[in-house]
Structure 1
């Protein structure tokens, strides 16, 4: 039943995203042949724009690409992750060779693994960076053998990826202990997601549970680790369950302020609500390597918290920020009006609300909202 559900979901994802998928072949000197890739561009992607997008590289792209792009498109639509470029690498004919490792070193073998490793880092990613608008924040996704293979990039002095999504990995010998040592000393924020299921292949499940015990013991604030052990799922259906979990974990900080974050973090923050907002967005830029435009949801959260704390200075700074970020939107007029209204300057509040009537409406602020504020003030006179 889980497999049926996964296939149905994949079908829905394909239907919504196919129009944006690009199919290409890359001629590789590293592996001595061309390799098929699939590229999903974000909605409204502008090749002449100045926006940079995170890159998600999906190994086993023959079957992992479609559920991945469906989830990235869905989550980015709701603002829970940034719009991203997703690249799937087809391996159906070369999988065993691509993902092979040496029996002596347990690292990529000279019979295909090393060549594929270099193809990804020295040919595929440079090609994508040259032809598309990519940021330096990269995620890699793998399943079974490819979930083991993605770990090899962590042993580079400067790992190619910041996020690792490993679904039911078929771990090479000593990988668990080696990875523990590596992640204990990493100095860059690294996101690692691991998943298995109760009906996973038994031999894999046993090693993954032991792997989780080892990774859970790593003490390093730079490691952001999440493990899921799904019930009523098997080796294949766990992928459909794990992708949204992994996205949620990797982009927790990026997500708009939720009720939980508002109550537990913003209201208890030592500084002002405005200071909390600025720190959040500074942290986003630091963690992910790109700047996020302040979303209206977060402006609303700061407005509510500032009023609750009777913090007029925070409201003043918020109104300035709204005007800077949304100069052509009713948002700028609304937040200016909210500040003046709060400090008792009804004349300027009225002028602010009136000035917004000819501006562009937003998700939450419309002409009717501004008119209601205007009538409220006029009724007080």
Structure 2
């Protein structure tokens, strides 16, 4: 019995935390290569869900800082869950061979083979084995940070976001990266970080690349450069990783109090449009559909109520019904619109629809029916003409529970 309970507890706990899976692949270009795949906590329990990927070069020591911030951000719903692929390179001269380039500053020898291995062997294997979406990120440090820039040299690069930490650059890279970014037509995120205490050559080339990128007019890509005061070649990683991830996923977070106060409340109109645009932009930028958060619906509702823009409750209701059908959310927004515009009879009938719907948030059946009961006997005093009523199979009077 104790053994069964232990195994059950082990199974449950394994579903609650991210899973690390050591992988081996036989490469036609490089021979045997090893890497670790980290699947997020929801991977086993959400078989319908697919995830963006983060490829980490120098995986032996960069995996922990990246996994830590991603797990922390996902816990607070600040960052999306993702699949991490950490490539092992820190044995012998492997990382230097993987990053080999010629005098002209292009991948050569083993470096060219490793370049092709990532796109032609590793990613096809990962995409076939795990549930991925096309949004891909890559990160590296010094030698491997310089190497990851080679993917930008392609007309259709395989990565959407680049995290370059204290890059050791190939010849002309400080010019070529900027030139390639200027020609990008698809959304690209580029992050670079250096430390004040690092090698002079690294910082000078990074500063030149930073100046070249900032000189690009009408940039169609997103860019951030951090030069950390007092940071060394190694300590900058701990500072840069959260900055890089939050830079890439800026706007993913739930509506904050600052955003509510400084942006939404100051709108003259378009509160519902703001919410719709937020999630449309996330899908356009990252390629995954998100169900709008219930807390974000509540924030928009609060702005509408505070600014007495009651007419916006109806499009908010439509948006809620689209993403949370057969629940009380859209019904509640619609009913509040009728209540606030003095159409009390319509409000009562709408609140009563909740009897056959699934409760959501605090919007239980009892809550909705109590709102309807509180309006009974109030004469209509419409301040706005209510939209034409659409016939529906909903009770016109408060239903009663069937008695046994």
Q: 1:255 aligns with which of 253, 256, 261?
A: 253
Deviations 1:100-154 (A, max 9, x none): 111x2211111x1001001100011111111111111111011111111111111
Q: 1:240 aligns with which of 238, 244, 249?
A: 238
Structure 1 segment 292-331 matched on structure 2, within 5 A:
292-327=290-325, 329-331=327-329
Distance 1:369 1:250 in 2: 43
Q: Which gives a bigger RCO, structure 1 or 2 (Cα 8 Å, sep 6+)?
A: 1
Q: 1:219 aligns with which of 214, 217, 220?
A: 217
**Rg bigger for which structure?**
2
Structure 1 segment 68-83 matched on structure 2, within 5 A:
68-83=66-81
Q: Could you list the runs of 5+ residues in structure 1 that have no partner in the other structure? A: 1-14
Query: Does structure 2 retain, via aligned residues, the 8 Å contact 1:357–1:370?
Result: no
Partner of 2:193: 195
Distance 1:47 1:133 in 2: 13
| Matching of residue 156 in structure 1 with residue 164 in structure 2 | no
Q: CA deviation at 1:182?
A: 1.0
Q: 1:230 aligns with which of 218, 228, 231?
A: 228
| SS in structure 2 at match of 1:327 | coil
Query: Does structure 2 retain, via aligned residues, the 8 Å contact 1:356–1:370?
Result: no
Distance 1:374 1:267 in 2: 26
Structure 1 segment 1-381 matched on structure 2, within 5 A:
20-31=19-30, 33-46=31-44, 49-93=47-91, 94-102=94-102, 104-110=103-109, 112-267=110-265, 272-327=270-325, 329-347=327-345, 349=347, 356=354, 365=362, 367=364, 370=367, 374=371, 377=374
| SS in structure 2 at match of 1:234 | coil
Q: Could you list the runs of 5+ residues in structure 2 that have no partner in the other structure? A: 1-13, 379-404
* Higher alpha-carbon deviation: 250-259 or 262-271: 262-271
Query: Does structure 2 retain, via aligned residues, the 8 Å contact 1:16–1:70?
Result: no
Query: Does structure 2 retain, via aligned residues, the 8 Å contact 1:354–1:370?
Result: no
Q: CA deviation at 1:376?
A: 9.5
Query: Does structure 1 retain, via aligned residues, the 8 Å contact 2:359–2:365?
Result: no
Q: CA deviation at 1:184?
A: 1.2
Distance 1:160 1:321 in 2: 34
Distance 1:130 1:270 in 2: 48
Q: CA deviation at 1:200?
A: 2.5
TM-score between the two structures when normalised by the length of structure 1: 0.85
Q: CA deviation at 1:265?
A: 3.9
Task: Note closer, same or farther for the CA distance 1:263–1:25 as it changes in structure 2 (3 Å cut).
Answer: same
Task: Note closer, same or farther for the CA distance 1:67–1:324 as it changes in structure 2 (3 Å cut).
Answer: same
| SS in structure 2 at match of 1:91 | coil
Query: Does structure 2 retain, via aligned residues, the 8 Å contact 1:142–1:166?
Result: yes
Task: Note closer, same or farther for the CA distance 1:16–1:113 as it changes in structure 2 (3 Å cut).
Answer: farther
Distance 1:106 1:26 in 2: 28
Deviations 1:276-335 (A, max 9, x none): 222222222211122121111221222123234433332111122223322365544543
Distance 1:380 1:77 in 2: 47
Distance 1:212 1:61 in 2: 26
